Chain A
Amino acid sequence: MHRVVVTGLGPVSSIGIGVSAFTDGLREGRSGISPISSFDASGFPHRNAGEVPGFRPETLLRRIEAARWGRSGQFAAAAARLALADSGLDPATVAAGRAGVVVGTTSGESVVVEAVTAQQVEAGFGGMDPDLLGQVPAGRLAHAVSTELDLAGESLTLATACSASNYAIGYAYDMLVTGEAEVMFAGGADSVCRWAHAGFFRLGALTADACSPFDRNRSGILTGEGGAILMLETLDHARARGARIYAEVLGYGVNCDASHPVAPDRASIANCMRAAHRNASIKPEDVDYICAHGTGTPANDSVEAQAIFDVFGDRVPPVSSIKSMMGHTMGAASGFGAIAGTLAIAHGFLPPTINWSTPDPALAGLDPVPNTARETGVRVVQNNGFAFGGNNAIVLIGAVE
């Protein structure tokens, strides 16, 4: 059994592209929310999202031609390219097939699906562009990364919705622990799109201007986008090449509510936390910080907090939500959470929950790290991810002992 460490970080986000800008964004409590520009939102009552308007794939990508890939694949590949650069690894030193890719997503190449649908509406099904149809499969998210980095190992896309990055990190962890691979690029990517904006609005889960998790007056999510990839490798491999090691992946847990397609389940989430702790061989009191799923809907934040209380009792660590800054980046969300958690350990600070003003009496005892980042030592981070379909996944990251 090998130990697994994080040695490269690749965030492509609305609060910063690249690890340095992203770290600054977290520390400053930057908001990445802006008026929607990627589709015509004029017919919607709510018109803001966490887009990445500064994303210029051609400036980040070296091998793949952006035009041949959908926006989510571009996010994934650019994020992986950044993670590789951050790690200092020369991929040519890794044996062929020993470096792989796992990318999580909610909606895959949603922008491409919307483009071919617009063609259907305009010109009928026969009017769909064959080249665009070739870009529709979700498996191309991982393939974009594999092609960009010229990796011959596993190239897997996991579609477990809004916890998909944690699934990806967990699976990559398994591949490294068992010796199936030496280096894995894992995380997630998604793009802002009309259908998700419409669906969340219709559910009454979309807020207007600012996402305020754990606030008494929280009123929903903002949709977001981006790519979040972590480079993971075995501890032996990292040490042998003299790598800078950010943190260690301690383990993860996944389970399924099996109760409702969209409503979160307190007992099931608590069970997922316990499974993650067990698999990572830690106890609740070891956790210094919880990077929450924290979507900002009344239901999620309440259920998540109650599950935390159930598991942590009277010793609840600080719990913050970076979705307050970036919106809900769907399949990338827990990837950004894992990057934020890794940075919390590496640099000794807690990312804040911004837009927070009013305590929720129902969440008394929960410290959301309101509005301002907090300098403090962090040894173990619990990164929560929950999803439609009841797909819960929690990753534990720790300082390297």
Chain B
Amino acid sequence: MSGVVITGWSTTSPAGVGRAALVDRLATVVGAAAAGTAATGDSPLVGAATAVPDGAGWPVEPPPADPVEVTALSDEPLPTPTGHALVDFDVRAHLGRKGTSFYDRATALAVVACGDALRDAAVEVDDTNRSRLGVVLGTSLGSFRSTSDYTRETLVQDKPYLVNPVLFPNTVMNCAAGQAAIRYGLRGVNATVATGPLAFLDALRYGTNAIARGYVDAMLVGAVEEFSPHRAWTTWLTGQPGRSIPTGEAAAVFLLTRADRPDWAGPRREAEVLALTTGYGPGGGPAADQALTGCVTRAVRRAGVDPADISCVLTGETDPDDTDEYAPACAALGHVPARMRVSRLFGRCDAATGGLALATFLASEPPEPTPRLALLTGRSPDGGTAAAIVRGWPGAGASDR
């Protein structure tokens, strides 16, 4: 599984569009947090804690960010007027009108992020490489809004078949990946993985496999989730009463290629994907925890790294008291590294969570310019688990050629 590198990336998130917007946002919030309560090291953890490695407290997990007013994004009443959304996002400002007017929001966020990731990696798509370049995106169920609204039309129209044919492809979960391929002419492996909170890590595994098996030379790997009344109400109605986390949205996309990549796949080497593992353990409780512990243990073994060198764990946890990922991860690592929950900055982003975590890791300037290791974890309510180990290289903006 190793030997796959990241040569560029982008996010469309509440921080804005592109790498610089995320870097700026992190500098602001993390800087403020570091000045206030650096290295709090919350460790109500299993008895696994041994030594805290050098560099603990990086990246410093910020306090929860305030959500913004999002009522402009919905004609329907929302359970709360605020969320973590890119309220002023306008796909036309990025891609023009032609071909974009019937995008749903998830597709628009993802296609913009794919284009920006190609730009960031300095990849020029042309007839010599387009069949060797693919896309895999993660989702929960595509655009819940597009699908539900299409059904709604069949229920409320005079005739149930008076639906808009142009919007029909938006009801299919592969819409965003297919539109990204159309927009940028990407004819290689094109896939959509639909595993909700695990979707980004599963997409990373899918994309890594496609490269390792030689089906393509490079993949745009990402995940997307849109803000909509459908998701806002789902978050609200299925969350714990009185402590519902704000609903968020984002797309995060990375350009993955082989370490011995062709020249066109980007000059930089920003990070290396060392290992990806998945497992399944339903029902909650210790047996289910064991599924994630097992994932992390296998990932460490495959990555061939010393677990003590893993200085941070980026989890998909959303609840303030939730250690469903952190505790099993620490148990497997044998120590208590810093934790970063991107939900503190971006709310509940479901499928996009892992992508935001990786982007946050890459966008955070470490105190020392040395390679650094991160563990990313994911866990779904039904029992799915996934873990990834990524090595970030210093001087991310520089070419290694």
Contacts and interface: CB of A to CB of B under 8 A. Distances in A.
Asked if A and B touch directly (CB within 8 angstroms), the answer is yes
Interface of A: 43-45, 97, 100-101, 105-110, 113-114, 116-118, 120-121, 124-126, 128, 130, 133-134, 136-140, 142-143, 146-147, 151-161, 167, 171, 174-175, 178, 193-196, 198-203, 254-262, 268, 271, 275, 279, 387-391
B70 to A, nearest CB: 14
A195 B171 contact: yes
Contact of B173 (A45, A142, A159): A159
Name, among A44, A100, A128, the residue most crowded by chain B CB atoms within 10 Å (CB to CB): A128
A118 B212 CA distance: 45
Interface stretch (B22-30, B36-44, B49-57, B135-143): B135-143
B384 A139 contact: yes
30 contacts: A44-B160, A101-B280, A107-B147, A108-B141, A113-B151, A117-B155, A121-B155, A121-B156, A125-B229, A125-B230, A128-B233, A136-B144, A137-B140, A137-B380, A138-B140, A138-B195, A139-B382, A152-B280, A152-B281, A153-B279, A156-B193, A175-B209, A198-B150, A202-B168, A255-B187, A258-B190, A261-B178, A389-B179, A390-B178, A391-B190
Contacts of B181: 256-258, 389-390
Given A199-B168, A257-B187, A389 B177 contact: yes
Given A45-B161, A113-B144, A195 B173 contact: no
Contacts of B34: none
A194 B155 CA distance: 9
Contact of A262 (B139, B169, B233): B169
B174 A199 contact: no
A155 B280 contact: yes
A360 B152 CA distance: 39
Contacts of B175: 261, 388-389
Contact of B134 (A156, A256, A262): A256
Contact of A258 (B187, B195, B380): B187
Contacts of A128: 233-234, 237
A284 to B, nearest CB: 19
Nearest to B159: A43
Given A138-B141, A143-B384, A152-B280, 10 more contacts: A107-B171, A137-B140, A146-B383, A155-B195, A199-B168, A255-B188, A261-B179, A389-B178, A389-B192, A390-B182
A128 B77 CA distance: 14
B282 interface: yes
A259 to B, nearest CB: 6
Closest 4 pairs between A and B when the two form their complex, measured CB to CB? A389-B178, A256-B190, A159-B173, A138-B194
Nearest to A173: B213
B371 to A, nearest CB: 27
A203 B144 contact: no
Contacts of A146: 280, 282, 383
A126 B237 contact: yes
Contacts of B358: none
Given A117-B152, A258-B130, A388 B169 contact: yes
Contact of B151 (A117, A171, A174, A257): A117
A108 B144 CA distance: 11
B191 interface: yes
Contact of B131 (A126, A160, A255): A255
Given A106-B173, A121-B156, A114 B151 contact: yes
A152 B195 contact: no
B242 to A, nearest CB: 14
B174 A389 contact: yes
Contacts of A114: 151
B238 interface: yes
A175 B1 CA distance: 11
A199 B233 contact: no
A252 to B, nearest CB: 9
A106 B384 contact: no
Interface in B332-364: none
A262 to B, nearest CB: 6
Contacts of A118: 151, 155
Contacts of A259: 182
B185 interface: yes
B179 A108 contact: no
A133 B173 contact: no
B246 interface: no
A120 B196 contact: no
B291 A156 contact: no
Contacts of A156: 193, 195, 202, 206, 278
Contacts of A120: 148, 152
A355 B188 CA distance: 36
B150 A195 contact: yes
A370 B270 CA distance: 57
Contacts of A279: 215
B294 interface: yes
A170 to B, nearest CB: 9
B76 interface: yes
B397 interface: no
Name, among B139, B144, B189, the residue most crowded by chain A CB atoms within 10 Å (CB to CB): B189
B172 interface: yes
B79 interface: yes
B399 interface: no
A259 B181 CA distance: 8
B186 interface: yes
Contacts of B162: 202
B286 interface: no
A133 B238 contact: yes
A133 B281 CA distance: 21
Contacts of B189: 254-256
Contacts of B141: 108-109, 113, 136-138, 159
Name, among A113, A121, A196, the residue most crowded by chain B CB atoms within 10 Å (CB to CB): A113
B299 interface: no
B165 interface: yes
Contacts of B215: 254, 275, 279
Interface string B39-78: 0000000000000000000000000000000000000110
Contact of A194 (B154, B184, B280): B154
